[in-house]
Each structure stands twice: as C-alpha cells, then as structure tokens.
Amino acid sequence: MAGFINNLLILLLLFQNICLGFRSPLSVFKRYKDTSRSLSSECLGSDQTVISFGLSDFALDIRMPAVTPKQSDTYLCMSVPLPVDDEAYVVDFKPHASMDTVHHMLLFGCNEPSSTENYWDCDEGTCKDKSNILYAWARNAPPTRLPKGVGFRVGGETANRYFVLQVHYGDVSAFKDKHKDCSGVTLHLTHQKQPLIAGMYLMMSVNTVIPPGKKVIDADIACHYKRSPMHLFAYRVHTHRLGKVVSGYRVRNGQWTLIGRQSPQLPQAFYPVKYPVDISYDDILAARCVFSGEGRTTETHIGGTANDEMCNFYIMYYMEAKHAVSYMTCTQNANPEMFRNIPQEANIPISVKSDVLKMMHGHHEETKDSDATSLLQQDKKEEILDDDFHIAEAVEWPGLDLKLGQVSGLALDPENNLVVFHRGDHVWDVNSFDSKFVYQQRGLGPIEQNTIIVLNPSNAKLLHSTGKSLFYLPHGLSVDKNGNYWVTDVALHQVFKLGANEKEPLLILGVALQPGSDKNHFCQPTDVAVDPITGSIYVSDGYCNSRIIQFSPNGLYVMQWGEETSLGRSRPGQFHIPHSLALIPDLSQLCVADRENGRIQCFKLETGEFTREIKHKAFGRELFAVSYVPGGLLFAVNGMPYPGEAESVQGFVMNFSTGEIIDTFIPLRKSFEMPHDIIASEDRTVFVGDVHAKTVWKFASAEKMEHRSVKKAGIEVQETKESEPIVEARLKNKPKSTDSLKNMDKQHLVQQASTTGASFVLITTLLVIPVVVLLAILVFIRWRKTTVYGADGEHKPDSSSRRILGRLRGKGSSGINLGNFFANHKGYSRKGFDRLSTEGSDQEKDEDDGTDSEEECSASPLPPAPSSS
C-alpha cells in the first residue's frame, strides 16, 4: 500500500512540473497586452489586439493607431511585435480597409522596424534589416485564404519577430472631416507546425516609361529560377490607373503555362491559381503588364504616387519546410526576345464596366448602392448563374417523414451532415410570454427529447442527437468550423455553445429567463453566427430588441448596431425582428433577414456599416430566413401572405452580386405552411425547415445532378446517383418581374398536368375505373332487386345492398355524401375545408385574427398579440 501511495505522489509531482513547464499562450498574450500601445476606440470595436482561439491558435490585430494623413500620397508605417517567442505560422489574413481612404496596404515581416514610434512616415524606411512581404491589399479586395497545411513561418529562429504595416493614403480628400483611420489587417496564427511553408515571389518592373498618348506599351519581366521546387497557389496583380491587363507565366522548354491573368482595375486580391503550377530548377518566370498612355500629356514613370505607375505580379507559393525560402524577387528581363512568343491573351485588355471604373477610382457617389467587394468573383458568378439553373425537390428523400417537433433551425456541420433544431413536445403559443416577454410556462420544465439531431443528408438516417433537458423554446442554430453547435432559446433569452459530444454547454451568453436590452441580456434572440476566420460571434436580438451584437470568441461584448424601425419607410440599419443571419466570409459581410420589413440587409463584419438592401415584391411582407453559398448564391424563404395579398410562400435563389432573383421553388409533397429556416451547401443542395408542418424538405439543383431516366408506373422521372427522383419545381430562369414569376408558376402547373400521352392515358384510366365500378354495383343492385322481388317489387333492399348504399348516403339523408364516404378511408384529410390552425411569434398571419405567435393551436380566433418588435 505504501508503495502505491509513493508511486501516486511521484506521478502527481511529475504532472505538476509538466503543467508549470507548459507556457499557456494566454499568459503570453496578457504580458503582450500590458506592454502594447492602446488603440483609439474611435474606429475600433475592441481594444483586444490579441485574441486566443485556444491553446494553439490566436488572432493578431494590426491597425493604424487612429491616424489622419494630411496630404495625398502619404505612406505611413507602424509595427507590432510577434506576441510569442516561439515559432508560429500565419495561416490567414483578413483586411480592414476601404478604398475610399486607402490606396493599398503592404504587410512586411522583419526583425527590426525602422522606428519605435507608434507610427512613422515610411520615407524613413520599413525595416532596418531584410524585410519580407507577407501580404498585399488594394481596391477593396476580400480576405486571402491559404491552403490547408500551409503557413508563413514567423518567430523562433527564423527572425520575422515584427510585423510592419505600410498604408498608402492616395487621395486624402476623404479626411476633410478630420476623422481617424484604423485600417489594417487581422492575422490568424497557430503554433501547430505546418508541413508546407508559404512564401512570396514578387515580379516588378522598375524602369518602364509610358509615353503620353501611346495606345499600348508593354512592361516585361523575366527571371530564371534557381532554387528548390515550389508550388504556386495564388497570384495578385497591381498597377495604377493606366494598367489594362497583367499576366504571369511559367516558361519551360519553350512552353508557356499561364499562372494568372487579371485586370488591375478589379479588386486587387490574391486570386487562386486555376490549375496547379509547379516551378522547378531552371524554369523561367515571366510577366507582362499592358499600359495605355492615352489621356496623359506627360511621360509616366514607375513610382510611388498615384500619378506614377507600377507593374507588379505577386505570386504566393509553398515549399517543403526543409527547403523553404520566404521571399524572392525578380526585377529584370533576362530574355527580351522570348516575349515574341508570349501567348496572345497577354496582349488583350480585360474590359471593365464604366461604373466599376468609377467606383475603383473614387466616384462612389454614383454607385453607392453597389458593393465593390462583390466584384472579385463577378465574372465567375455570372458564368455560373447564367446557366439553365433551377431548384427541384428530392421527392423520395425520407426526411419528410421524421417525427419532429416545431422545426426552428437548420445547419450543416463540417462533414456536410444536416443538423436540425426542433422543439420536441413544446410549442410557442399566445400563453408562452407575458406583455414583458417573460416566459410563463416554466412549470412544463425543459424539453425532455433530444432537440438537436444530426442526419445523413442523403437518406435522413439519424447519426447523432443531443440537447435533452436543456431548452424550453429553441429557435436559431448554426455550426462553427470546429463542429460546435450554437443555438438560441427565446424562452431562456440565451445563446449557447455546445460541443458535439458534450452534455453541458461550453459557453452561455445572456441571463436565464431574464429579458433585457443591455450588454449582458437578450430579449428573445433569434439566431447566431460565428466568423470562421476570427471566431467572432454575432447574435440577432431579436423579437423584442432590434439589434445585432458582436462578441469576441470568448464571449466578451464588442459592439452592436441596429435600431427599431421608425414609422413610415424602414431605413438602413433599422430592424423589425432580425430573424436570421448569413455570413459571407469571403466578402467580410453579414446579411440579416429583416423579417417583418420583408427584406435582406447586409453589413460589414468589422464595423457594422450598412452595405446594401435586397428587397423584392415577391418577398411579400415577411422574409424569414437567408443562407449564403460561396460562389455568389443567396437563398431565402418568405412568410405566408396577408389576407388579400397575392405573393405566395416560396423559396428564392438570388445572385448575391446583383440581388436579382434567378429562381423560385416550392415543394411538391405537402406544402409550405411556415418555412422557418433554410440552409444550402456548395453543391446547391437546399434544406428548408417548417415550424408549422414540423418537417424538413430537401431540394437540389437539377442541372448539376447526374441523372438517368427511368420509368415508374408509366411516368418518366429523373433519378440521381443517390436514387432520389428529382421533380422540377420550377422551369424558369431570371424572371423579369414578379408578375412573370406568377405566370410561370401557372404555366408549370399546366405543364405538369399534361406532360406526356402516357400520363394522360394513365390518369384517365384511374378516373374511369371508379365510375365503372360504381356503375357495376348499381347494375348488380338493380339485377338483384329484379331477380328477388320481380320488376314491380317495392320492398326494401336486403342487408348487403343496405351496407353498400350506407357507404354512399349521408346519415339521415337520401342523397350521396362523398365527403363522408372518403373520410372513412385511411389517409384522407379534410385539410382545405377545415379552418387552418394559428401560430405564434414565428408565425404567418392568420386570415381571421392576425395573431403574431408561433405555435399551433386549434382554438377559436384569438385577439391580436402585442407587437414583438
């Protein structure tokens, strides 16, 4: 026994030493924060420069410290030390700047900045030692993503202990109001070793001269590559106003392979290399910039001001860690003769629309309603969306038959499984809350069923379930990149973070059962979204507040925006039930389904600044939910129309760039009653949850599915790889008006009723058979009566005849009552004749009583509930 105790004590001592020897990044962050400068709160939502994502990951915010440049073409620099001593890896960049104020930004890595001041004029230099370019931004470019397993190595023995941010302020007329600027970039860093190390290869012309009035002038750059193999994954072009097109190539054995080609007048982001390109020893890297001197009266030289020009082609690459080189440059033209064989595409300017040019060069007032950040993938989006695109229901998806409560939220986890949030045996009705939004049914206790279920998206097989005895009235749901569930409960007035395999919440925001409107309380919060880059948490709050609140990844309040809708026309940033959230990470935007205002509003993530509104007559008065798919598709569902209004309840597919409706869809099995949430995946599979119908529908992009024709019961259907017959819900594309939408709906219904001759024959046969059977029964009865009683017999029919006629006659009536006859048969529903049930705060408006609650109650009409705004 004594030996056992001694061994146990030794183990405890070892464990203690390990814990003391392990340096938590949080302690390092605290030390860094105590010694760092404080940033102005005028243009930053938070003074947290470093935010922890856990033991290995953290974010570093690098911002200008509230500066006001006094003259145009000012270059300002500032430095931030790496907050850890160990080696780390930069795996993501998120810019915070607008071309309204900033011409471009460069981020350098070095060991000793040129100054120790908070910021300085970059004419003094950026770094005293060798500097490496890690990142570049211009023209409202969106964030840059690195491939998995790739990172820029910083700290440790590799130097780069400081980051230096250089910001070029081109035209300072935007600073007439003397406001402060905090432009910059947020880095996502990790201590986890990356097997592949990223680097930057800069190709730059230094001696190009553009004559005035010259229509075409080329600037060529070429270098022989003399290092270990590297793999290219992104490129960026940069010129000023005279640049028309920039192209980069690998030349191997006389063969030109395109790395990337783009107009420098579009957002100057790092575009992905379309096809994998590797560079080997003795390959040639070549680039060409095409300029035009038209409109200039003097020569234009390469230089640092907005009236000068630049010709830069940036390449992001990765190499094996043991051979990694972080930065390389090419500023010469090693073989001018070879450019005679450059592909002709390099000489063809990429046209840019005039309104885009105006936006790119500062004339924003003429295009203020469009968002320049959406231009990055505009060409790709239009190529995708101009196809014959339509959504169809997967009619044999068995998820429609699941036994669920009121379905309030849907999401997709990292494995693309469907996650459903439902209310079990609880409902939201007019008795749920008092006039002060305090929950009145606590005596029911929490829901005893698992409220979160995970389903296979192909066959609806149950994979996992959780959430028992935690919630009273579930509402919003999202899943972060790590697979954690984020949910809201309108009865508890709280937001929860749940691990997929954890029974207890990992994080709780809000105070249980206490509604409020300060930093620590919610009032019936509706939805939650988590930024996959920064981990920031966004909550839409809610039925009785009209705001969006941002929290740090650890749940600390950062900022909020929004206000209650005023009388008359709703203005930007005003809400009447912000009901659903959709993150657009590649454009750093958050879109909100502003339910009772029947519109979508979008805002900048970092500032809450309003960017755009999407509103269509086809939405009607209510828009319940919105979902975004990378590549430019926006999905939404609306609510039931008010009495006397014609807009139908349906789903919408929109081009995010233009806001245009390109398709609408409805289910063919059952009908939408109150679609409450929608989620879509990148392959355009769409799920819709209905809080009234207590079900989930699945839709798919018909033209994207491989299918084959099969014949079932004489009716031709299309079948996918997953053996799910796809029936078109719509055949239209890009409707020009809401009237045409309705007309095409009618045409589709007509087309469905008359598809093929075989279908017509089948339907006719099915209709004739009951009539023939009925006639045969009547003939049999007549024959039986004549046979038994004679032609003049007036006796009552026998029992067998009475049984048959009894099925056809209503009780106490001599007429035939087909309604009662069919009502006796299994599967018959009187729906359409009986009065529809009403629902509560998440509800459509009832035709008679106009109540605003979300549950199902079949009682008599109720008086109007108090406004939930």
Q: Which residues are catalytic?
A: 103-104, 166, 168, 238, 240, 310
Beta-bridge partner residues of 831: 834
Q: Whose CA is closest to 315, among 238, 254, 239, 380?
A: 238
Q: Are 142 and 376 in contact (CB under 8 A)?
A: yes
Structure tokens at 69: 């440049």
Enclosing H/E stretch for 628? strand 623-629
Long-range contacts of 422-425 (CB under 8 A, 24+ apart): 422/451, 422/453, 422/474, 422/689, 422/694, 423/447, 423/451, 423/473, 423/474, 424/448, 424/449, 424/451, 425/449
Q: Are 262 and 314 in contact (CB under 8 A)?
A: no
> Residue 672 has what DSSP assignment?
-
CA 146 distance to own-chain centroid = 19
Structure tokens at 380: 């790709």
Q: What is the distance between the alpha carbons of residues 795 and 793, in angstroms, rounded to a whole number? A: 6
Q: What is the distance between the alpha carbons of residues 638 and 614, in angstroms, rounded to a whole number? A: 13
How many Cβ atoms from other residues are within 10 Å of residue 598's Cβ?
Answer: 22
> Residue 356 has what DSSP assignment?
H
Q: Which residues contact 498 (CB under 8 A, 6 or more apart)?
A: 452, 466, 467, 484, 485, 486, 487, 505, 506
Q: Are 406 and 447 in contact (CB under 8 A)?
A: no
542 upstream amide cis, omega within 30 of 0: yes
Q: Are 281 and 225 in contact (CB under 8 A)?
A: yes
Dihedrals φ, ψ of 548, to 5°? -115, 130
Residue 471 burial by Cβ neighbours in a 10 Å radius (0-12, 13-18, 19+): buried
Q: What is the distance between the alpha carbons of residues 533 and 93, in angstroms, rounded to a whole number? A: 8
Angle in degrees, CA 353, 354, 358, rounded to 5: 120
Beta pairing, strands 196-204 & 150-154:
parallel
CA 555 distance to own-chain centroid = 22
Q: What is the distance between the alpha carbons of residues 280 and 221, in angstroms, rounded to a whole number? A: 18
Structure tokens at 424: 């079990």
Beta pairing, strands 675-680 & 686-690:
antiparallel
> Residue 840 has what DSSP assignment?
B
Q: What is the distance between the alpha carbons of residues 419 and 393, in angstroms, rounded to a whole number? A: 19
CA 103 distance to own-chain centroid = 28
Structure tokens at 311: 């010709």
Using only C-alpha atoms, the chain has a radius of gyration, in whole angstroms, of 33
Residue 300 burial by Cβ neighbours in a 10 Å radius (0-12, 13-18, 19+): buried
Residue 859 burial by Cβ neighbours in a 10 Å radius (0-12, 13-18, 19+): exposed
Q: What is the distance between the alpha carbons of residues 208 and 311, in angstroms, rounded to a whole number? A: 8
Q: Which amino acid is at 213?
A: G
Q: Whose CA is closest to 625, among 796, 805, 803, 475?
A: 475
How many Cβ atoms from other residues are within 10 Å of residue 160's Cβ?
Answer: 25
